[in-house]
Amino acid sequence: MSVAALRHPLASSWRRIPGAWRQPVAIVGLVIAAFWVVIAALAPLVAPHDPLAQGAALYQAPSAAHLMGTDELGRDVFSRVLWGARISIPLAMLLVALAFTIGGTLGGLAGYLGGWVDELVMRSADFVFAVPTILLAMAVVAALGPGLFHAVLAVVLVSWPGHARVVRGLVRTTMQSEYVAVGRLLGSPTHRALVVDVLPNVAGPVIVLAALEIGNAILLLSALSFLGLGARPPTAEWGSMVSTGAEHFEAWWIGVFPGIAIVSVVLAFNLLGDSLRDAFDPKAIIKARGA
Amino acid sequence: MAFVLTHLVPGDPAVANLGDRASSDPVAVRLYREHFGLDKPLPVQYVVYLGNLLHGDLGESEQSRRAVSTDLAEYIPATAELAITSMVLASLLGLTLGVIAALNRNKATDQIIRVVSLAGMSTPQFWLALVALYVFFYKLSWAPGSGRLDAVVLPPPHLTGLFTIDSLAAGQYDVFVNSLQHLILPACVLAAFNMGLFTRFTRSAVLEVLENDYVRTARAKGLPELTVVFRHILRAASPPILTVVGLAFGNVMTGTVLVENIFSWPGIGQYSYRSATALDLPAIVGVMLFVAIVYILINMFVDILYGVLDPRIRVA
């Protein structure tokens, strides 16, 4: 029996990804997410107006000239919603990347080294879990001063433990598996096992987590902006646009459309992550093989 | 832990609470620091804090100038009423939808429920709250606006602090109806996220149980479907669902911060927002402690429930 044959069942889960695309829900998620990423990249080209220009009449209801109406300063809401994608999506991706780098490194070390390192990392993670995310994030932003960058830092601070837990668990189960032991018997050093055997197995679940976390990051970031702790007023950021809408109740279009943008982006990433999770779930794989 | 963390942050509470003019006056800043013991070194502050904590003293809020415990006692019932109502709503809906989805696995119903539950988890609560207010209060006038009661209605005599229960206990049915009207909209908004979460977890927990032989046996015996669902499936699937319900408490607290701010609901959520933005350290630490204690209690309660539901766990 070759070493490859003993690999963790997750390693073969890459082959399951095409299965995920057979689900209509996954395709819808992918299409919407891709749409918003393109919008974020091309906003200056597709947006009909400057998101900060105050030329038009105030409080115009949606019309052909202004698809989503104009806001309290006569800015085009449609253009602002499109530009908003340029803030929320890249920041959420950056934030998840940061949280994963920090959480993944700490969790990987904790799982690999064990002992007091493990204790220290996991107890810190438990602490962050026990405090409601928004409370901690609010306290951090309030201390550092409001601003988009500080809000990102705050969300990273509350979201690294999720990554740390997942990576730690994966590293530990992989380290105990037969193929790592076989590798060690064949004389390859343990750190080589980490790169060759552990990393490929960790990748799948991490991708799922990242997709789900991007949605959560966008939600939390916009919530902080809504509370006035993230993006500051002139910036076309979805959360702060909803907050402006809250002050101008009769002009519903100011707040409703940025909210729909948030729902659609977050839902798309959640649909994507959820379908991928089904595909990566080792139990689902075993069931699929058995059937 | 909470104490260290809130003191590590670099903001200066004296500056945050005194306002710009007063904080440029060094005498005012010094007096302020002495009053709250902020002039002493951190370890000393910590020992003093722990000593006071043992006597149930959480310190004095730097904003409201009252004991944090007094503040908490005032705001906790409002949040408790809101959070419990929303959790009950979310559990009922989530369980029902989750079971239906699992029984119709991969059919159209399952896919629709998947999208509905994920939509619940993808909708920003602050936006949902505003849309709900716009539609049901501003446009349709079905629901009252903000607060726990209409301005003209007096709160019922204090018993539990939960207006719905207190008013019933006092026999004031008009107050009960009024408080319920005020409660229902924020509670529904708050329930949306957890409804989605519970649906997802119930679905996967039920799917796992469905594969067991005893479920097939129960069906083969010709038991009515409802009996199979409640007696055989739900009972076996409940431990993982309970775990999630226990952990979801954190989501509720996050939701209350946003929902309470929008509905002017005088609870812990609003209080913590005010405290956090004013860097009111004793208040922030007080809220964190309170939340941590509730979190631990709820999860202990969940552990006990496991034993009730599954006698095998009881001995261990």
Name the band, by pLDDT with cuts 50, 70 and 90, for residue B26.
Answer: low
Mean pLDDT of chain A, nearest integer = 79
Domain boundaries, given as residue ranges, for chain B: 2-54, 71-313
Helical residues (DSSP H) of chain B, grouped into ranges:
2-8, 13-23, 26-35, 42-54, 68-103, 108-122, 125-132, 163-169, 173-210, 213-220, 225-227, 235-247, 249-263, 268-277, 281-309, 311-314
pLDDT tens digit sequence for B161-188: 788 888 888 878 888 888 888 888 999 9
Q: How far apart are CA B184 and CA B304, in angstroms?
A: 30
User: CB neighbours of A85 closer than 8 A, spacing ≥ 6?
Assistant: A36, A39, A40, A43, A261, A265
Query: What pLDDT was estimated at residue A5?
Result: 44
CA distance B304 to chain A (A): 20
Enclosing H/E stretch for A22 = none
Name the band, by pLDDT with cuts 50, 70 and 90, for residue A4.
Answer: very low
The tokens for A173 are 């189960």
Q: How far apart are CA A90 and CA A241, in angstroms?
A: 18
Among the four given CATH numbers 3.30.450.20, 2.60.120.380, 1.10.3720.10, 3.90.1170.10, the one describing domain B71-313: 1.10.3720.10
End-to-end CA distance of chain A: 25
In a mutational test of the A interface, the residue from B79, B126, B243 whose CB has the highest number of chain A CBs within 10 Å is B126
A102 touches chain B (CB under 8 A): no
pLDDT tens digit sequence for B56-65: 566 777 677 7
Bridge partner residues of B60 (DSSP): B67
Yes or no, beta carbons of A142 and B127 under 8 Å apart: no
pLDDT tens digit sequence for A170-188: 888 777 777 777 777 887 7
Query: What pLDDT was estimated at residue B96?
Result: 92
Yes or no, beta carbons of A215 and B278 under 8 Å apart: no
Fold of the domain spanning A3-44+86-280: MetI-like fold (1.10.3720)
CA B4 to the chain's CA centroid: 24
Mean pLDDT of chain B, nearest integer = 79
The vertex-A230 CA angle with B11 and A68, nearest 5°, equals 165
In a mutational test of the B interface, the residue from A135, A240, A248, A260 whose CB has the highest number of chain B CBs within 10 Å is A135
Residue B199 has pLDDT above 70, yes or no: yes
| Model confidence, pTM | 0.81
What integer is the mean pLDDT of A203-216? Answer: 83
Domain boundaries, given as residue ranges, for chain A: 3-44+86-280
CA A77 to the chain's CA centroid: 25
Mean pLDDT is lowest, of A103-117, A183-197, A198-212, B91-105, for A183-197
